[in-house]
Structure formats: structure tokens, C-alpha cells
A and B are shown apart, each in its own frame.
Chain A
Amino acid sequence: GAVVSQHPSWVICKSGTSVKIECRSLDFQATTMFWYRQFPKQSLMLMATSNEGSKATYEQGVEKDKFLINHASLTLSTLTVTSAHPEDSSFYICSARDPGGPYEQFFGPGTRLTVL
């Protein structure tokens, strides 16, 4: 099946620094990728939709300047958490849509971000 990777799997940073998370589709080209955030014991919340070659579409309430998304190629999308603060600590998960199927999304293993 299709594989999506994320890097790093976990990261610890100091408050005020920026952190970049990569999401890669390893064996297929993904024109659309999605970024989710998961709080402990809570659901995954869609943050934004990333389309290759165009600006990301953010969900209501998600700060565009805080969470920068770049979909530079058909296999790579990046999420940069700028000027991170402890409240940004969370589990970030990306998914990529298989263009061969209209609905299925393949998920990465997630990145645990801890801001001190």
C-alpha cells in the first residue's frame, strides 16, 4: 500500500524557536496533502489542506502565520510552527490523498512536538 512518512517523529524545542515537520509520500505523487493536530485523548482536527504549487487552505481558527505550510513538490509538504510556544505542543499528523482513489487518505505516523 501507499506509504507516507513524517520527519522528525518527535522534537523538543525552546519557546520562541521555529520547527519544521516534513511529510513525504514515498511511492505515489500526492497533489493534495492534509495536516491534522491531535490533542491527548482527543480527536484529530484538520488544520489545513496543502495543494502542490498553490497556497494552503486553512481551517477556521488556525493561524496562517503561526503554521506555515509549503507543498513544494508532488511528494513533499512541510509544516513550520513559527515562534513556538508551550500551547503548540501536540501531535501533528499529515496525510496524502491518493489521486488514484477519490477518497482514501494515507496517513503518516505523526510527529510529537514538545515546546519547553
Chain B
Amino acid sequence: GDSVTQMEGPVTLSEEAFLTINCTYTATGYPSLFWYVQYPGEGLQLLLKATKADDKGSNKGFEATYRKETTSFHLEKGSVQVSDSAVYFCALSRGGADGLTFGKGTHLIIQP
């Protein structure tokens, strides 16, 4: 079946550091890929998405490119802020009627 693997945390960085959170997937066909973020005490929020190979999703300074050849969707940000501290989930979906398959989540801690 489908699966998503992402680096487990916690990942601790200093403010203004470069961020990469790795995510790889296993799925047949051409799933859509997502990054969700969960801030403390809040529900999951969609951060960015990509629906086909080579698409780049971006939002709030975060970026991720759908790489079919490496089955990856790594999340990057050039300069993190303390407010980026949260849990980040990589996920895939086969279509609008389907639920999401999530990775285990990466806890990101940004220190001032």
C-alpha cells in the first residue's frame, strides 16, 4: 500500500538557519503530495501542495518540489523564524475522494 516516510525529530535549529525536512513516498500511479503544519494547540493546516511531477508548491517562504524520479517531496525554507516551530506532516492522496496517507510528522523547534 501507499506509505510516506519523513525524517523524525525533533529538529532543532537557530533562527535564520536553512531548513530541510526530507520526505519520500511509496505509491503506484501519480499521487498528489502535501505538507501540513500543526501549531501547538491547533488543527492541521495545509502548508503547500503539488499535484504532478516537477510541480513546486510554495507558501510562507516554504517550498517543496514533486520529484517523481526520486519519489520525494522535501520541504525547504531559506531562513526559519521562531514562529515556524511546529509539527510538519508530509502526506499523499490519490484523489479528492480519498483520504490522506501521512508520514509520522517532524517536530521542528526554532531557537532565538
How far in angstroms is the closest Cβ of chain A from B21? 14
Interface residues of B in 33-64 (CB under 8 A from A): 34, 36, 41-46, 49, 51
* A59 contacts across to B, CB distance below 8 A: 99
Among the listed B41, B46, B93, B104, which residue makes an inter-chain contact with A43, where contact means beta carbons less than 8 Å apart?
B104
* B103-A107 in contact (CB<8A): no
* A103-B96 in contact (CB<8A): yes
> Known: A107-B44, A107-B45. Is A46-B101 also a contact (CB below 8 A)?
yes
Q: Counting CB contacts under 8 A, is A44 at the interface?
A: yes
Q: Counting CB contacts under 8 A, is A32 at the interface?
A: yes
* A106 contacts across to B, CB distance below 8 A: 46
Q: Counting CB contacts under 8 A, is A70 at the interface?
A: no
Interface residues of B in 3-25 (CB under 8 A from A): 4
How far in angstroms is the closest Cβ of chain A from B23? 12
Interface residues of B in 95-109 (CB under 8 A from A): 95-105
* B89-A108 in contact (CB<8A): no
* B96-A97 in contact (CB<8A): yes
> Known: A32-B97, A107-B43. Is A44-B89 also a contact (CB below 8 A)?
yes
Q: Counting CB contacts under 8 A, is B32 at the interface?
A: yes
* A4-B43 in contact (CB<8A): yes
Q: Could you tell me the distance between the alpha carbons of A95 and B45 in the complex, rounded to whole angstroms?
A: 11
* A109-B43 in contact (CB<8A): yes
* A108-B43 in contact (CB<8A): yes
Residues on A lying within 8 angstroms of B by beta carbon are 4, 32, 34, 36, 41-46, 49, 59, 93, 95, 97, 102-110
Mind listing 29 A-B residue pairs with CB under 8 Å?
A34-B99, A34-B100, A36-B102, A41-B104, A42-B104, A43-B103, A43-B104, A43-B105, A44-B44, A44-B89, A44-B102, A49-B97, A93-B43, A95-B44, A95-B99, A102-B95, A102-B96, A103-B34, A103-B49, A103-B93, A104-B49, A106-B46, A107-B36, A107-B43, A107-B44, A108-B43, A109-B41, A109-B42, A109-B43
